[in-house]
Structure 1
Amino acid sequence: MPTLSNSVILVTGANGGIGTQLVRDALERGARKVYATARSPRAWDDDRIVPLTLDVTDSTSIAAAAVAAPDATMLINNAGAIPPSASLLDVTEADIRANFETNFFGPVLLARAFAPILAAHSGSALVDLHSVASWAAFGGAYSASKAALWSATNSLRLELAPRGVHVTGVHMGYVDTAMAAHADGPKLTTEELVRSVFDAVEADQFEVVADDLTAAVKAGLSGPIEAMYPQLHSSEA
C-alpha cells in the first residue's frame, strides 16, 4: 500500500497552485524528498524540495528527469494546459496538438519512463490528475485530451498493478487557482483537493471524485446522451 511517509515524490507542474499544494502537503505528510518540476523551476525554501527542469512535451526532457530522479516512489502527473477556445472546430490544429502533448502524451510518456523506477520500490504509486472534463465534453480539445488521459490511466492501472505500482486517477471540477479565475460557481480549494488526493492514495483507492459536480457528472454517464447534454434538444428545434 502506498504511503507518504519517507516517500520520494516527483510532481509535474509544481509552480502552479495545485502543484505547489502537492509539494507542501507531501512534505507535511512525511515525504523525504519532493522533485518539484517545471519548465522553469523556481527556488524553494526547503532543502527537501529539489527543483528539476522538465518539459512534459519533450521526450528528451522526460528521459533526463527519469535519470535525475531514480529514487522516486511516486509520480504525480499534475501539469496541464488549456487551449485558447473550448471549440474543436475554431481552434487551430496546432492548438489541439499542443493541448494533447501536455495533457495526454506528457503524462503517458512520463509513466512509461518512470515505470521501471516505480516498480523497483515497494509501496510506489502513479497519480494522474484528470478533470470533470474527462466525463463531460464542455471543453473541446481540453475535454478530449482529459478523456484520453482517463482511458490511458485505466490501461496503465492494469499494466502496473502486477508490477506493484498503485495507480490513482483524480477527477474534479473547478479549483480555486489562476487557471480557473475566469469561472463562476463553487470551487474546491487547493487544500481540499490535495487532501482528498493523498487520503485516497494512502487508502489504496483507485479513483478520486473530488466534488459534488464531478460525482453528478459521473453518475450521468449511465444515462442517455441527451440527458448529459440537454442543449442537443434545442439544436433539434
Structure 2
Amino acid sequence: MKKFLYEIVLYRTIMRKSDIYSIIDSRRTVRQFEEKNVSNEIITKIISAGMKAPSNDHLRNWHFIVVSDQEVRKGLVGERGENLLKSQNARALVDDWGLIDEFQVEMFLHAIPLQAKMILTAGALIIPCFFQDHNLLEPKELSDLNEFASIWLCIENILLAAASEGIQGVTRIPNSSAVLKEILGVPKEYEIPCILALGYPKKGIKLPSQHELQLDNHIHRNSW
C-alpha cells in the first residue's frame, strides 16, 4: 500500500513538472483579444498565484487594482496613448530609435499601435502596486531595487497562471506612474511597475517572429 501511494505521489510530481514546462512554452505576448471578459474567479485565482512569489522583505506588500470601467481605462490610455494608435507614429518612433534588427523592428511596428487599444479591449486589466519607501528612480545601491525585483516575480507568476487558463497578455510599463496613481487613487508610498493587460487571444492573429537562439551561447560555466 505504501509503495502504491508513493508511486501516485511520484506520478503527480512528474506530471506537475511536465505541466509547468508546457505552460512556460505556451506563454505568448498577446495584445489582441476576443471580446470576452475574464471572470472574477479566474482573476482572483491568477492573482493568488502571483502572491505566492518570493518577496525580498517576506511581507508581499502588494496590491492589485482590477479595472473594468471603460472611462477609467480611457484615462489610463491618455493623449499619448491615443497617438500610439496611429501606425505611422510607430514607424516614426522605430526610425527615431535607430533600430536595425529586423525581428525587433517587426515586433515594435506590430506592438506600438496596439499599446493603447489593448488597454481598452483586454478581458482583464490588472494594475499591480508595490510598497516603495524610497525613490525608485534614484537608487543608491543595487539592493534599493529589491522591492521592484520582487513585484516582477509576482507578475511573472500571474502571466504563467493566466497562460494555464488559456489567457495571454502583456505588460506595459508607463513613462511615469504619477498620472496613473492619481487616476487610481494609489497611496504615495506605493509604485506601479506596469499595466497588465490579459485576455483570450483573438483568433487568427499573427505574432511577430522570434530569434532562434542557441542556448549554449547564453550559458557560461564558472566564468563568462
Same fold (TM over 0.5): no
Structure showing greater relative contact order (alpha-carbon pairs closer than 8 Å, 6 or more residues apart): 2
TM-score, normalised with respect to structure 2: 0.26
Q: Considering fraction of residues, name the structure with more helix.
A: 2
TM-score, normalised with respect to structure 1: 0.25
Rg bigger for which structure? 2
